[in-house]
Amino acid sequence: MRYIDNDLKNKTILITGGAGFIGSSLAFYFQENHPDANVVVLDSFRSGETLSNGNLKSFGHFKNLIGFRGEVISGDINDKSLLAKLEADYDFDYIFHEAAISDTTALEQDLMIKTNLNAYKDLLDMALRQNANMIYASSGATYGDAPSPQTVGVEAPQNVYGFSKLMMDHLSRDVMKTADISIVGLRYFNVYGPREYFKDKTSSMVIQFGHQLLQGKNPKLFEDSDKIVRDFIFIEDIIQANILAMHPRESGIYNVGTGNARSFQDMVDILQKELGTSYVCEYMPNPYIGRYQFHTEANIESTIEGLGYEPRFSFEEGIKKYIPEIKRMFEEEVK
């Protein structure tokens, strides 16, 4: 679906983190809906490098870009010489900044701040010099244990990832006061959908439970999973928000969710219905009580007003559309 009618012919678009889940989805959106745009994907791509928690440092994967015909550049946003070369070689009209250390369990505070905050400032400075509108990924993690519905302006991050994203938002607000470009921060809630598989352990529980069921395993849930709820949002609504943010009614920080919290039990029940399975759920004690969010729900009133955004997919509709891809990834990557 095409979300804007603006002609992007000969416009140049930079997508950082463009081999990741959301970045690659954006790249294909432009290729399919605005083929005359010049799309440049920048990603550090994965190596064998891991964080201290054992998870990969980068989730960028070439398979997310198979079929993409734009330009692909491998590089780290912390590399100032790379950013200088990008600025010298291209005149960007829009920058979609999705690159980050996105693992919320990462303990490397120095790397998190350097990559998520300091490198963003370098990119924002480039956007200002090039008169390029900036759309960047913030996060629902900025809210931490803030009460639902989570509302911009009431934040309490519980990890360094959420803190780094909140500091990005503070920086952005300061620059918005005098900037001639539009700057939009999008606070993503729990995103699921195609091209997330290569996030490995940090992929959504939708695909993880889907693959458990396809393996014939009983789904394992925490006790009281009917009371543990999240604002789960399908990738196509995330793309919608990003595209609308190219020409916002007003620069700002906006929540991107559905405004409708659903439980993990709902997730498994919907998956079982769509996959035609009826495995018995197994319930485990929740070891994270006291340091675990039991309810997230995005207040999207300002997003509707500021971007013209309206979520299109219910949880049932999103999972149903996702099922063929869950099955394909199972056949190609899991079995």
Dump pLDDT digits (tens) for 7-35: 899 999 999 999 999 999 999 999 999 99
In a domain, 32, yes or no: yes
C-alpha to C-alpha distance for 101 and 242, rounded to whole angstroms: 20
Q: What is the pLDDT of residue 4?
A: 74
Which among 199, 254, 309, 322 is annotated as catalytic? 199
Tokens of 189: 């809630």
Q: Would residue 4 count as lying in a domain? A: no
Rounded to two decimals, the pTM is 0.96
Say if residue 5's pLDDT is above 80: no
- Residue 1's pLDDT is 80
Residue 292 in this model has a pLDDT that exceeds 80: no
Give a yes or no: residue 94 inside a domain.
yes
| DSSP assignment string, 262-295 | EEHHHHHHHHHHHHT--PPPEEE--TTTTSS--B
- Give the pairing of strands 183-188 and 133-139: parallel
Catalytic position from the list 120, 136, 143, 161: 161
Is residue 307 domain-resident?
yes
pLDDT for residue 330 is more than 70? yes
Count of domains in the chain? 1
The label of the residue with tokens 């485990």 reads 284
- Establish if 64 belongs to a structural domain: yes
The answer to whether position 2 is within a domain reads no
Average pLDDT rounded to a whole number, residues 184-212: 97
Collapse the DSSP code of 124 into the 3-class scheme (helix H, G, I; strand E, B; otherwise coil) and give the result: helix
What is the average per-residue pLDDT within 295-306?
Answer: 97
**Inside any domain, residue 108:** yes
pLDDT at 293: 76
Q: What is the pLDDT of residues 166-194, one digit of tens each?
A: 999 999 999 999 999 999 999 999 999 99
For residue 291, the model assigns a pLDDT of: 67
* pLDDT(335) > 90: no
Residue 199 annotated as catalytic: yes
How high is the pLDDT of residue 294? 86
Q: What is the CATH number of the domain that holds 124?
A: 3.40.50.720
Determine the structural domain holding residue 175 and report its residue range: 12-334
Is the residue at 5 inside a domain?
A: no
Residue 57 is among the residues annotated as catalytic for this protein: no
